[in-house]
Amino acid sequence: MSAAQRKPPAPVALSRADLRARLAAPRDPARARSDLQTAAQLLTAEDLKPYEGRGAMAFAPPLPPDAPRRSAAVLVPLVERADGFSLILTQRTADLKAHAGQISFPGGRMEKEDADAEAAALREAWEEVGLDPKSVEVLGRLDPYRTVTGFDVTPIVGAISPPLSLKPDPVEVAEIFEVPLAFFLDPANHQRHSRTSPTGAVRAYYAMPYQDRYIWGATAGMLINLYEVLTAS
């Protein structure tokens, strides 16, 4: 465990108004992040290092470029604690067909009854972790994110005031936990890892290990975007 992981992150002095303003700052509306884009960019990173964690990591094979894509939304839930914001994340259950055991934001595919991505993210957060939509103040959106598994994800950032009364859906969520926002806003915690598949292909991705949690892939990619938006001058 690195010193950055052992040492508690310093609080970040951001208010809800600050977050809202930074999320509303002009950005290229056509810009989208993607698993494949990240993998290609990071393969040349000088600090790229092989994954050294315990257990196997399953990489989904990329879908063909012409494969149909599905719209999805996730909630990036920021809890306004006395010493600064913290971020709610979930650990998925080990027996799911997709992304089993991985760390993610509450979220999922958009349904016909969802008016927009905000409605979908709030509905999914209610279903997965019991977060009351009425308790969430939506602050804005991050850039869209395209996954190799065929989802076009819209990350919705929301603020919540404690106390919280969360209850994980036992089918999808093994655990709910919080990480200080300051941890993700410290570039010293942004790692670049790689893994070689059984076929010899090398996949590179962002990782942000926190204590005994391995945060990586699309979730880490969206957190990099959150860092860029909230620290832009």
Q: What is the dihedral of CA 16, 163, 214, 5, to 10 degrees?
A: 70
In a domain? residue 8 = no
In a domain? residue 12 = no
Which residue type, as a one-letter code, is found at position 69?
Answer: R
Q: pLDDT per position in the chain (233 positions), as tens?
A: 444 445 666 666 899 999 999 999 998 878 899 999 999 999 999 999 998 876 656 677 778 888 889 999 999 999 999 999 999 999 988 776 555 568 999 999 999 999 999 999 999 999 999 999 999 999 999 999 999 889 999 999 999 999 999 999 999 999 999 999 999 999 999 999 998 877 788 899 999 999 999 999 999 999 999 999 999 97
Cα 99 to Cα 60, 102, 202, 208, 217: the distances in Å are 9, 6, 19, 17, 10
**In sequence order, which residues have a C-beta less than 8 Å from that of residue 228 and are 6 or more positions away?**
none
In a domain? residue 74 = yes
Which residue type, as a one-letter code, is found at position 91?
Answer: Q
In a domain? residue 219 = yes
Q: Measure CA 142 to chain center.
A: 11
In a domain? residue 15 = no
In a domain? residue 30 = no
Describe the crossing of helices 35-42 and 217-231 by its angle, rounded to 10 degrees: 80
In a domain? residue 170 = yes
**Cα(230)–Cα(159) distance, rounded to whole angstroms?**
14
Place of tokens 């799911």: 96
In a domain? residue 217 = yes
How many domains does the chain contain in total?
Answer: 1
**Which residues constitute the domain of residue 65?**
35-51+59-231
Is the CB of residue 181 less than 8 Å from the CB of residue 229? no
Q: Residue 103's domain is classified under what CATH number? A: 3.90.79.10
